């Protein structure tokens, strides 16, 4: 069954590598991307918002190619598509814009043909493209997702984010493509560092699942990627080391960076102190950054109605 009227999908941003959870632990965040997909006579793209300037508008577009993968998997032909996209998720900043596009494409294409593929199948397909399950898992399922990937199948556990948790992100004005930030990582690690991360990742997952916010500070540290990526983000080391003494429950590099993330208790009265500390520290290193308070997002990719039309405003076409 092909929905000739098309479908509109909303997908949350994500923070990957949550603390010690490199390539495994992600959380969906309340920043969104939208994709609308309709069968058409010839393929055409409408991209809205400066963030999407430069994204290809032909059949080389990632979203078009992934939609065709879904149709092939389901044995359905929809060769020509009208695709509209808008996004509030900044690109190449460590907030999962590529995962939102991948998940949005697969989810929209599947909905367009009556959802023959399971969510697990979409997760496998998304992870095969992104190569790690933490961003795509959070964008697809929402909440906090702990996931493993064996190269073919992705298996996940979804955790409902504790209601008291809020997130402060500092989004630097410069880009850091994930590909570049992965090249800097070592090929092997010492046993000591492996134990350091495994123990903290286990503790953090358990702490989040059971709402033990008091354990986050002890759990939210990493020796797999943050020390190697620190030189790419001036000020990061100091912010991660001192955020807890300025009111954060814990702090981490978001995804591959450059965005920095702090977990904060909702009713904390130290929010302005934390904001000022982060802004000042980045400023001392010559880094301009936009600070945003976000919510963990419980809902993953979903179909929305015409009332969500706002991002597709004619004046925003790029």
Ligand X SMILES: N[C@@H](CCOP(=O)(O)O)C(=O)O
Q: Which residues are annotated as a binding site for ATP?
A: 90-100
Per-residue contact flags (x/-) with ligand ADP for residues 160 to 199, judged by CB under 6 A: -----------------xx---------------------
Footprint on residues 7-26 left by ligand X (CB under 6 A): 16-17, 23
Q: What is the DSSP letter of 230?
A: G
Nearest-CA neighbor of 233 among 185, 187, 282? 282
37 binds, among ligand ADP, ligand X, none (CB under 5 to 8 A by kind): none
- Angstrom distance (rounded) from CA 298 to CA 276: 28
Tell me the residue number closest to ligand X, measured at CB: 255
Q: Which stretch in 95-103, 145-153, 203-211, 261-269 sits in contact with ligand X by CB under 6 A?
A: 95-103
Q: What's the Cα-to-Cα distance from 141 to each of 118, 138, 171, rounded to whole Å?
A: 12, 5, 24
Nearest CB to ligand ADP, comparing residues 111 and 265: 111
Beta-carbon count within 10 A of 230 CB: 17
Query: Segment contacting ligand X (CB under 6 A): 70-78, 130-138, 140-148, 306-314?
Result: 130-138
CA pair distance 258, 289, nearest whole angstrom: 10
**Residue pair 295/169 in contact by the 8 Å Cβ criterion:** no
Taking CB under 6 A as the criterion, the residue among 2, 44, 62, 230 binding ligand ADP is 62
63 binds, among ligand ADP, ligand X, none (CB under 5 to 8 A by kind): ligand ADP
Contacts of 117-121 with CB under 8 Å at 24 or more apart are: 117/70, 117/73, 117/74, 120/154, 121/73
- Cβ burial of 182 (10 Å; 0-12, 13-18, 19+) is middle
Contact positions toward ligand ADP, by CB under 6 A? 52, 55, 61-63, 85, 87, 91-99, 101, 177-178, 255
Contact positions toward ligand X, by CB under 6 A? 16-17, 23, 94-96, 98, 132, 134-135, 178, 182, 225, 255-256
């Amino acid at each position: 069954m092909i929905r000739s009227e098309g479908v509109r999908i909303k997908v949350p941003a994500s923070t990957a590598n949550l603390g010690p959870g490199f390539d495994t632990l992600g959380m969906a965040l309340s920043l969104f991307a939208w994709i609308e997909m309709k069968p058409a006579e010839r393929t055409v793209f409408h991209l809205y918002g400066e963030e999407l300037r430069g994204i290809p508008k032909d059949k080389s577009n990632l979203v078009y190619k992934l939609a065709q993968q879904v149709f092939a998997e389901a044995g359905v032909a929809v060769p020509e598509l009208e695709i509209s996209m808008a996004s509030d998720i900044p690109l190449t900043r460590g907030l999962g814009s590529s995962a939102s596009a991948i998940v949005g494409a697969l989810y929209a294409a599947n909905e367009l043909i009556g959802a023959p593929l399971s969510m697990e199948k979409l997760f496998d397909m998304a992870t095969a493209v992104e190569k790690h399950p933490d961003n795509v898992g959070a964008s697809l399922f929402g909440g906090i997702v702990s996931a493993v990937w064996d190269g073919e199948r992705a298996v996940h556990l979804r955790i409902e984010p504790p209601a008291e948790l809020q997130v402060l992100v500092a989004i630097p004005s410069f880009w850091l493509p994930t590909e570049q930030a992965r090249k800097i990582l070592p090929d092997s690690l010492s046993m000591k560092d492996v134990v350091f991360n495994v123990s903290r990742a286990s503790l953090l997952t358990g702490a989040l699942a059971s709402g033990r916010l008091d354990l986050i500070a002890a759990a939210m540290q990493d020796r797999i990627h943050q020390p190697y990526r620190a030189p790419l983000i001036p000020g990061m080391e100091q912010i991660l080391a001192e955020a807890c003494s300025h009111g954060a429950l814990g702090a981490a590099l978001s995804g591959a960076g450059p965005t920095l993330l702090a977990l904060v208790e909702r009713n904390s009265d130290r929010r302005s102190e934390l904001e000022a500390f982060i802004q000042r520290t980045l400023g001392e290193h010559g880094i301009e950054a936009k600070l945003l308070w976000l919510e963990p997002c419980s809902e993953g990719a979903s179909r929305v109605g015409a009332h969500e039309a706002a991002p597709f405003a004619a004046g925003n076409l790029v």
